[in-house]
Amino acid sequence: MADAKVIPFDDDRTRGGAAQRPSRRRNAGSRRTGENAVVRDARESGEVQALPGLAGSTEDVPVTREKPEPSQEAAGALDGAVDGGALERRIASGLAFLRKRLTGDYEVDDFGYDAELTDQVLMSLLRPLYEKYFRVEVKGIGNIPAEGGALIVANHSGTLPMDGLMMQVAVHDNHPAGRHLRLLAADLVFMLPVVNELARKLGHTLACAEDASRLLQQGELVGVMPEGFKGLGKPFGERYKLQRFGRGGFVSTALRAGTPIIPCSIVGAEEIYPMIGNSRTIARLLGFPYFPITPTFPWLGPLGAIPLPTKWTIQFGEPIPTDGYPPEAAEDPMLMFNLTDQVREQIQHTLYKLLVQRRSVFF
Amino acid sequence: MLVTGVARQLGGRFVRRIQRDPDVDRVIAVDAVPPEHHLGGADFVQADIRHPAIARVLAEHNVDTVVHLDVTGTPLGSGGRTTLKETNVIGTMQLLGACQKSPLIKRLVVKSSTNVYGSAPRDPAVFTETMPPKSLPSGGFAKDTVEVEGYVRGFARRRPDVAVCVLRFANILGPSADSPLASYFSLPVLPTVLGYDPRLQFVHEDDVIEVLRIASHEPARGTLNSGTFNIAGDGVLLLSQCARRLGRPTVPLLMPAVAWVGSMVRTLGVTDFSPEQLRLLTHGRVVSTNQMRETLGYRARCTTAETFADFARGRGPGLLPPEAVAGAVDRLAALAVPAPGGGRTPTQSAN
């Protein structure tokens, strides 16, 4: 599906990217680019046909993910205990956890981040989706510092902000220090019932300069997707084309805090819900920024809300330092625009590179 | 020193405490109704701050410090919301007018509330003193405090020689607190808004008294006690956590249902379940206390959690005491972990 994008970037590859990353996969990918289109079309149609079966076999994954949302964490802990079966220690720890939760004996930070619940329940609910469903491959995790604040800037796509959650799991599970990513989310997240509660407990907070700089000053790892709804709700035809990066507020926040900016490119999230249409009337009625129409949604009802099992790659790029600038630099609009463009370009280039390397959307 | 609003528990406690300070000569306690508690050796003057007579009291007693505590959310005894609003807003206006005319006034301390920030989903997670609220409170006590603060700012502009200190207290709790939130937590079953778990912050009564005391004296070296300060205990509790620690079951209701229950409860006069409070219980509110620590030089003795524990002790157990729940889980553990875990089971139930 990414072929339309791939062809123009052969020149990008010859510019010197190949010398930097001589990977076997890239060669394989480029060889495929040269193949005739008929073969690819056949392969793709095969994939599309194989999909319903795939979706059926993995159907239980989203179901288990959704189940604990309305109920309390107690259900999750009990589930864990039942699954554990013979592992009596696991039962004991599960019950100890349950006991703590039921008596309210746990801590949350000023932002409502519930570290214990996130680690023990919410993360383990996202993990099957991360490992088995999207099979996320993570590159460049070493670019994230082991300690101190850093701002991860990523592209945003996929109709539902699945990419943010996957990035959070990716950072936590792959980073040697097991760092927690604190995501900045749109205000819509904090208006919706249940969603706002879970978002706060997962450590997300409102995307505003005050919260971001407070988190960065606390030495937290902050994740932001400056495209916002423009990126999330863009039509399928515009996939992997970065939208405008807001007003570059994230750069001035990082500059003020003196923390590095880490560009992050996520490939695979664009195809989970191919948005072929947007019903503005329903969107306006519900107060959402867009209302997606995909080949399956809303035609198949809740079944259509199951994401396509695409294969994901998350690459963290080289950090862009911001500590070399004078303190008044955060007020300089020219510098802001330059840095914003630099980050944007880097993400876009990495996206193209990853797309060239990708063998197929689903494998 | 003149203290208003002494008929309330908090005002009474403050008057009793402040008289023990060596640099306080006399305390004039003012309220519209005589207090039920004793006021130590303070002179009680029965005066309604909504009337200009308060200016005469100020002049007669050569007052140099005014501590204005009569900005409250719960009516005292009879008298509805209208009287309360008048006392809060008109009373403050009269008092400030009297202060402006008095040449002796050196210091003014006003009790406000973090309600001025409102609570909305678009707000930043943590408020600092300089942040304007995204949506101004629409009514009730929160709107009163916004108006009171507006008048106080005007006064500070007109009388730059007076040190003005506005203290924005988070929800005050303690064994004897009579705030709206305290009466909410005394309900046997707590109605909550389905799908929302607000972050709450509390401040202990003892801390309130201490901060008021610091604000009403000359500042200590290296600190400054004029300006606006957020006063709250460290840390945050979620409403669900509060309910579990208190041992009271929650009933999550849909937003319209909560509003309906709220109005019903209000009609019955059990508690003031105002729209503002409903908003607080939906979106929560957390303030930054850096200014309190760094500029005012005060470190809250009780964290939010300790304050709540103290409050819970004073209220007695609810329908589901945490100890009983913990015991039930332990019994479950004893059942679930059979013979091989025999060594572990007793230690667990011993907990």
Tell me which residue in B195, B329, B337 faces A99 most closely, judged by beta carbons: B329
State residue A104's pLDDT score: 86
Q: pLDDT (tens digit, 9 = 90+) per residue, A16-33?
A: 433 444 444 444 444 444
Contact yes or no for B122 and A190 at CB 8 A: yes
Average of pLDDT values for A289-308?
88
**A75/chain B closest Cα distance in angstroms:** 14
pLDDT of residue A164: 94
Of B123, B241, B337, the CB nearest to A91: B337
Contact assessment for residue B325 and residue A101, using Cβ atoms and an 8 Å cutoff: no
Residue B152, pLDDT score? 95
Above 60 in pLDDT, residue A200?
yes
Mean pLDDT of B180-200: 87
Q: What is the DSSP letter of A118?
A: I
- pLDDT of residue B346 exceeding 50: no
**Interface predicted TM-score of the whole assembly (ipTM), two decimals:** 0.84
Whether A112 and B284 lie within 8 Å, measured CB to CB: yes
pLDDT for position B337: 64
Confidence bin at B79 (pLDDT 50/70/90): low
Predicted confidence (pLDDT) at residue B192 exceeds the cutoff of 50: yes
Q: Where are the beta strands (DSSP E) in chain A?
A: 137-139, 150-154, 181-185, 205-206, 221-224, 261-267, 277-278, 292-293, 313-316
CA A106/CA B265 separation, integer angstroms: 31
Nearest CB to A92: which of B128, B283, B333? B333
- CATH number belonging to the domain at A3-57+113-272+307-357, selected among 3.30.70, 3.10.450, 3.40.50, 3.40.1130: 3.40.1130
- A6 compared with A344, residue with greater pLDDT: A344
A205 inside 8 A of chain B by CB? yes
- The alpha carbon of residue A191 is apart from the nearest alpha carbon of chain B, in Å, by 6
Q: Cα(B323)–Cα(A180) distance, rounded to whole angstroms?
A: 33
Mean pLDDT throughout B302-307? Answer: 92
Does residue A147 sit at the B interface (CB-CB below 8 Å)?
A: no
pLDDT reported for residue B289: 92
Contacts of A31 (CB under 8 A, 6+ apart): none
CB contact under 8 A, A102 and B286: no
Burial class (CB in 10 A: 0-12, 13-18, 19+), A91: buried
- Inform me whether the C-beta atom of residue A91 falls under 8 Å from chain B C-beta atoms: yes
CA of B63 to nearest chain A CA: how many angstroms apart? 41
Q: Are A172 and A189 in contact (CB under 8 A)?
A: no
Residue A122 has φ and ψ, to the nearest 5°, of: -65, -40
Q: Which of B237, B243, B333 is closest, CB to CB, to A95? A: B333
Largest CA distance in chain B: 82
Q: Do A197 and B197 make contact, defined as CB atoms within 8 angstroms? A: yes
The stretch B214-240 carries a mean pLDDT of: 90
Task: Search chain B and give the residue with CA nearest A203.
Answer: B125
Confidence class for position A312, pLDDT limits 50, 70, 90: very high
pLDDT value for B189: 86
Asked if the Cβ–Cβ distance from A110 to B286 is below 8 Å, we say yes
Lowest mean pLDDT among A83-92, A336-345, B45-54, B138-147: A83-92
User: Given a cut of 80, is residue B271 above it in pLDDT?
Assistant: no
Q: How far is the alpha carbon of A101 from chain B, nearest alpha carbon, in Å?
A: 8
Which letter does DSSP use for residue A131 in this model?
I
Of the candidates A246, A26, A38, A36, the residue with the CA atom closest to the CA atom of residue A139: A26
Q: What is the mean pLDDT of residues A158-183?
A: 93
Of A91, A193, A201, the CB nearest to B195: A193
Cβ(B188)–Cβ(B211) under 8 Å? no
Pick from A200, A217, A148: nearest CA to B128: A217
The predicted-structure confidence for B231-268, as pLDDT tens digits, reads as follows: 999 999 999 999 998 888 888 888 788 778 777 776 76
Q: From chain B, which residues contact A within 8 Å (Cβ)?
A: 121-126, 128, 131, 193-197, 199, 235-238, 240-245, 255, 283-284, 286, 305, 322, 325-326, 329-330, 332-333, 336-337, 340-341, 344, 348
Is there a contact between A104 and B242 (Cβ–Cβ < 8 Å)? Answer: yes
Domain range annotation of chain A: 3-57+113-272+307-357
Cβ contacts of A98 on chain B, cutoff 8 Å:
329
Which of B121, B325, B332 comes nearest A196 by C-beta? Answer: B121
Instruction: State mean pLDDT over B190-203.
Output: 91
Q: Give the start-end residues of each E strand in A1-147.
A: 137-139
Name the more confident of B20 and A48. B20
CA dist B297 and B302 (Å) reads 15
- Contact yes or no for B121 and A95 at CB 8 A: no
Q: Is A95 on the interface with B (CB under 8 A)?
A: yes
**pLDDT > 70: what percent of chain B?**
92
Question: What is the predicted pLDDT for the residue at B77?
Answer: 64
**Is residue A200 within 8 angstroms of chain B, CB to CB?**
yes
Distance from the Cα of B321 to chain A's closest Cα (Å) equals 8
Structure tokens at B129: 């003193």
Average pLDDT over residues B320-331: 83
* Distance (Å) of CA B317 to CA A107, A196, B173, B188, B296: 22, 30, 17, 10, 37
Range name among A58-72, A114-128, A129-143, A283-297 with the lowest pLDDT average? A58-72
Confidence grade of residue A357 (pLDDT, cut at 50, 70, 90)? very high
Contact between A103 and B325 using a beta-carbon 8 Å cutoff: yes
Using the beta-carbon criterion (under 8 Å), do B126 and A210 form an inter-chain contact? yes
> Does the beta carbon of A83 lie under 8 angstroms from any beta carbon of chain B?
no
Give the pLDDT band of residue B111 (cuts 50, 70, 90). very high
